[in-house]
């Protein structure tokens, strides 16, 4: 920064939305999240800690705090920033001497592997990584009747809001409409206000384009004629006259022009609720592995059951007085499934998997009497899922980092099955469970064990003649096999004899059965090892459901 301006500043007069102007990187989704962050000073100072400066105590490094999959990371970066022709290449402040936003972008790039990994994304990712909150989505083509009240309440509570216009093809990406809205581009929602216009209450909404320019030119835009009908003091307070990317529009136009709204709640309180609630939260780490725990969605009944399973015990119903009343008693909870580290793995050709989840009830009928209820560590088998439909599920399977859905179900015991859409798609994930009232949760899995047959040690006279011939062929004239290295250059079995015995990585049960300590295998010892390997191979084949050998 000292090479770009004589007196660089970290933050000048507090962080504002005009400190964030997009550069050459396609990370408008992240910058929209940062712009929303400036509206909540408490959140901002959690992510951008106080007391950092280019003057007092300057050491060439700055630190930021970013939430990742259940924990806050302290991310330290130096102040070298990418430039071109003497100007910052990526995010920059409008007036050029303020650098907190550029350094925050660098810290976020470090967490995700590189700047390139930040190209393209959903504003909800940035929202959650700056708050640890949970995001809910609204389809503006089918909005709830009270959406404007939901937005007002979200802004009051310090929730972060973003919106965008869906594209129908790659040619639409960042195409500018007739009234200067940008398709496939992330905007932040920064305000909402009702005004009296021609004797009627009119709902307005304020947004910001992270480019810092290119603004809506329709009704209620900067300098539009509609403002002349508003009371002068209010007009002076609300009207934005400069080209800074921020603008007002009517809520009716907002619903017509935009297609998606994201609201990141700092706690998952229902925005429609009139009362603040303290939610109970649980977080579980999980893994999908090919041939083991990556069973795909319900469309694949042969393997769906092998997915990880989590139990939720809903015990206490909601307080009816918190809501409008008139509903059946139920327990509110919210599930959020997030896949891990996918941006960081882009360099290896990976991207977001298509993910979702299903919820099954196990407290009724045959499955209750069969002993499934109240038991810990029981992984439900294929038969259960063939006989039962899901009680609830995520609204869709989608290739976003997180899928979240709010539910209200009767008290009981439920199993949550998170999965990728197709089987054998590998990845790590975090499942977050937010319950309004007390709820028990745990991961469901069978105890990992195998029953081995008793090991019978045969004398040389009891060993089959065909086996003796095999041993003689492999051992050669010395009639012993070396404990290390391959027998006469041959592979004996799928794993090979060589290297098992005494190797630090070998399973204890496959350590070669040495008796006299001479480092070699005789006929009896080789027979013991051979039988052990055959037993383990049969166990492996039993659990290798897709016959992949992995």
**The pLDDT of residue 511:** 54
pLDDT in tens, 115-134: 999 988 888 899 899 988 88
User: How crowded is the C-beta side of 287, counted as CA atoms within 13 Å?
Assistant: 5
Q: Where are the domains of the chain?
A: 17-130, 134-265, 280-319+330-343+351-444, 465-543
pLDDT in tens, 519-534: 677 888 888 888 888 8
pLDDT in tens, 323-353: 445 556 788 888 999 999 999 998 888 889 9
DSSP state at residue 252: H
Segment 45-61 shows an average pLDDT of 89
Angle of CA points 372, 377, 382, to nearest 5°: 60
Dihedral pair phi/psi, residue 549, rounded to 5°: 75, 10
**The pLDDT of residue 470:** 83
Confidence grade of residue 64 (pLDDT, cut at 50, 70, 90): very high
**The pLDDT of residue 440:** 60
User: How crowded is the C-beta side of 180, counted as CA atoms within 13 Å?
Assistant: 18
pLDDT in tens, 383-403: 999 999 999 999 889 998 999
The answer to whether residues 362 and 368 touch, using CB atoms and an 8 Å cutoff, is yes
Identify the CATH assignment for 134-265 out of 3.40.50.620, 3.40.1190.20, 3.90.70.10, 3.30.300.30.
3.90.70.10
534 or 450, higher pLDDT = 534
**Residue 21 bridge partners (DSSP):** 92
Segment 213-228 shows an average pLDDT of 88
Average pLDDT, the chain: 81
**pLDDT score of 487 more than 50:** no
**pLDDT score of 279 more than 50:** yes
The answer to whether residues 314 and 412 touch, using CB atoms and an 8 Å cutoff, is yes
**The pLDDT of residue 92:** 86
Burial category of 509 from C-beta neighbours within 10 Å (exposed 0-12, middle 13-18, buried 19 and up): exposed
The answer to whether the pTM exceeds 0.75 is no
Range in 50-59, 140-149, 441-450 the model is least confident about: 441-450
Segment 368-388 shows an average pLDDT of 72
pLDDT in tens, 139-179: 999 998 889 998 998 888 788 899 999 877 767 767 888 89
Burial category of 4 from C-beta neighbours within 10 Å (exposed 0-12, middle 13-18, buried 19 and up): middle
What's the CA dihedral at 504, 509, 514, 517 to 10 degrees? 40
**pLDDT score of 495 more than 60:** no
Among the ranges 93-107, 240-254, 407-421, which has the highest mean pLDDT value?
407-421
CA distance 70 to 401: 14
283 or 372, higher pLDDT = 283
**The pLDDT of residue 549:** 64
523 or 268, higher pLDDT = 523
Is the Cα dihedral 63, 66, 68, 73 positive or negative?
positive
Q: Which residues are catalytic?
A: 28, 185, 209
**The pLDDT of residue 416:** 95
**The pLDDT of residue 170:** 65
Identify the CATH assignment for 280-319+330-343+351-444 out of 2.60.120.380, 2.40.160.20, 2.40.50.140, 3.60.150.10.
2.60.120.380
End-to-end CA distance of the chain: 51
């Amino acid at each position: 920064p000292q090479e770009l301006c004589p007196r660089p500043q970290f933050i000048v007069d507090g962080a504002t939305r005009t400190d964030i102007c997009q550069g050459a990187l396609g990370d408008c989704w992240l910058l929209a999240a940062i712009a929303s962050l400036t509206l909540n000073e408490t959140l901002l100072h959690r992510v951008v800690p106080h007391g950092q400066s280019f003057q007092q105590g300057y050491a060439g490094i700055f630190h930021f705090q970013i939430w990742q999959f259940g924990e806050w990371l302290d991310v330290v970066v130096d102040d070298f920033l990418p430039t071109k022709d003497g100007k910052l290449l990526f995010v920059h402040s409008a007036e050029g001497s303020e650098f907190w936003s550029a350094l925050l972008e660098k810290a976020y790039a470090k967490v995700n592997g590189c700047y390139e990994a930040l190209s393209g994304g959903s504003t909800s990712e940035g929202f959650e990584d700056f708050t640890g909150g949970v995001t809910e989505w609204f389809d503006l083509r089918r909005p709830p009747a009270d959406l404007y009240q939901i937005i007002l309440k979200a802004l009051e509570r310090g929730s972060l809001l973003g919106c965008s216009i869906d594209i129908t093809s790659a040619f639409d990406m960042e195409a500018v409409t007739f009234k200067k809205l940008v398709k496939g581009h992330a905007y932040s929602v920064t305000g909402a206000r009702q005004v009296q216009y021609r004797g009627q209450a009119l709902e307005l909404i304020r947004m910001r384009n992270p480019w810092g320019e290119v603004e809506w030119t329709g009704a209620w835009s900067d300098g539009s004629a509609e403002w002349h009908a508003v009371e002068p003091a209010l007009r002076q307070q609300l009207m934005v006259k400069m080209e800074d990317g921020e603008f007002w529009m009517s809520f009716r136009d907002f619903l017509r022009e935009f297609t998606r709204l994201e609201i990141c709640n700092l706690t998952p309180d229902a925005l429609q609720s009139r009362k603040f609630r303290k939610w109970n939260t649980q977080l579980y780490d999980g893994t999908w592995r090919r041939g083991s725990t990556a069973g795909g969605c319900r469309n694949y009944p042969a393997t769906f059951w092998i997915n990880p399973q989590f139990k939720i015990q809903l015990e206490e119903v909601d307080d009816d007085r918190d809501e409008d009343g008139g509903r059946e008693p139920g327990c509110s909870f919210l599930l959020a499934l997030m896949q891990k580290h996918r941006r960081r793995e882009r360099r290896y050709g990976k991207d977001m998997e298509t993910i979702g989840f299903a919820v099954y009830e196990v407290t009724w009928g045959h499955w209750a009497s069969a002993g499934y209820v109240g038991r810990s560590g029981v992984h439900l088998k294929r038969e259960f899922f063939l006989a039962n439909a899901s009680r609830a599920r995520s609204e869709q399977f989608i290739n976003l980092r997180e899928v979240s859905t709010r539910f209200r179900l009767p008290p009981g015991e439920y199993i949550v099955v998170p999965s990728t859409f197709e089987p054998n798609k590998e990845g790590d994930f975090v499942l977050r469970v937010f319950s309004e009232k007390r709820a028990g949760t745990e991961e469901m899995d069978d105890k990992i064990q195998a029953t081995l047959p008793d090991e019978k040690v045969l004398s040389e006279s009891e060993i089959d003649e065909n086996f003796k011939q095999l041993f003689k062929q492999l051992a050669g004239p010395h009639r012993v096999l070396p404990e290390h290295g391959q027998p006469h250059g041959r592979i004996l079995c799928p794993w090979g004899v060589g290297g098992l015995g005494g190797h630090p990585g070998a399973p204890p049960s496959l350590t070669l059965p040495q008796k006299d300590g001479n480092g070699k295998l005789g006929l009896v010892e080789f027979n013991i090892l051979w039988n052990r390997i055959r037993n383990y191979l049969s166990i492996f084949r039993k659990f290798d459901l897709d016959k992949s050998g992995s």
